[in-house]
C-alpha cells in the first residue's frame, strides 16, 4: 500500500511555520499544526485506511511541545524503519526579526515565558541545532513577509 508523502514543518518560534502550513493546505495537503511528536506514528498508522482522505500530509511540530527535542529523533528513526518517506522543512529568522515579531504579536515564546525573550530565542536556537542540521530544506525568512 502506498504511503502518503509527509512534510514536517519545524523551526524557530516566530519563523512562519503556521503561514507555511496554510500554504501547504492551499496546495492540497492535509495539515495538522502543533502535532505532538509521540502521536505522529499513531496518526500515520491510520493513514493507509484513509487513503482517500490523506493524499499529502504536512505537520507543524516545534518546541510548543515540551518533550519535542527529546522525542523527535527517535520518532523519525522509527518512521524510517517503517518505510515512511518524509521531508523536514526548517524555517528560521534572525534574532532581530524574531524579537520584532514577538513584540508585535505579544505572544509568549516557548522558552521565554516569564523570562528574558532574547535569552529564550537564543536557548531555542541552541536546542534546535541538531534538528536544523538534519533538515532537508532550510528557509531563512528574515527578509520575507511571505514564503
Find, among 101, 107, 80, the residue nearest to 3 by Cα. 80
pTM of the model as a whole: 0.88
Find, among 57, 64, 50, the residue nearest to 31 by Cα. 57
Between 10 and 4, the more confident residue is: 10
Q: Above 80 in pLDDT, residue 56?
A: yes
Helix (H) or strand (E) holding 121: helix 117-127
Q: What is the pLDDT of residues 14-43, one digit of tens each?
A: 899 999 999 999 999 999 999 899 999 988
**Architecture label for domain 6-140:** 3-Layer(aba) Sandwich (3.40)
Whether 86 contacts 35, CB under 8 Å: no
* DSSP assignment of 19-84: HHHHHHHHTT-EEEET--GGGHHHHHHHGGGGTTT-SSEEEE--TTSTTHHHHHHHHHHHHHHTT-
**C-alpha 132: how far from its chain's center?**
11
Q: What is the mean pLDDT of residues 140-146?
A: 76
Per-residue confidence (pLDDT) for residue 145, from 0 to 100 = 58
Amino acid at each position: 500500500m502506498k504511503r502518503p508523502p509527509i512534510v514536517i514543518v519545524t523551526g524557530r518560534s516566530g519563523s512562519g511555520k503556521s503561514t507555511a502550513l496554510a500554504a501547504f493546505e492551499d496546495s492540497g495537503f492535509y495539515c495538522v499544526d502543533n502535532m505532538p511528536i509521540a502521536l505522529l506514528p499513531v496518526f500515520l498508522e491510520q493513514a493507509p485506511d484513509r487513503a482517500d482522505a490523506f493524499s499529502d500530509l504536512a505537520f507543524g511540530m516545534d518546541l510548543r511541545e515540551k518533550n519535542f527535542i527529546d522525542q523527535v529523533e527517535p520518532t523519525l528513526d522509527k518512521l524510517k524503519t517503517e518505510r515512511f518517506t518524509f521531508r523536514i522543512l526548517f524555517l528560521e529568522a534572525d534574532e532581530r526579526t524574531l524579537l520584532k515579531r514577538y513584540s508585535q504579536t505579544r505572544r509568549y515564546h516557548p522558552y521565554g515565558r516569564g523570562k528574558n525573550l532574547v535569552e529564550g530565542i537564543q536557548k531555542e536556537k541552541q536546542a534546535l541545532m541538531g534538528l536544523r542540521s538534519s533538515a532537508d530544506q532550510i528557509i531563512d525568512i528574515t527578509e520575507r513577509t511571505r514564503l
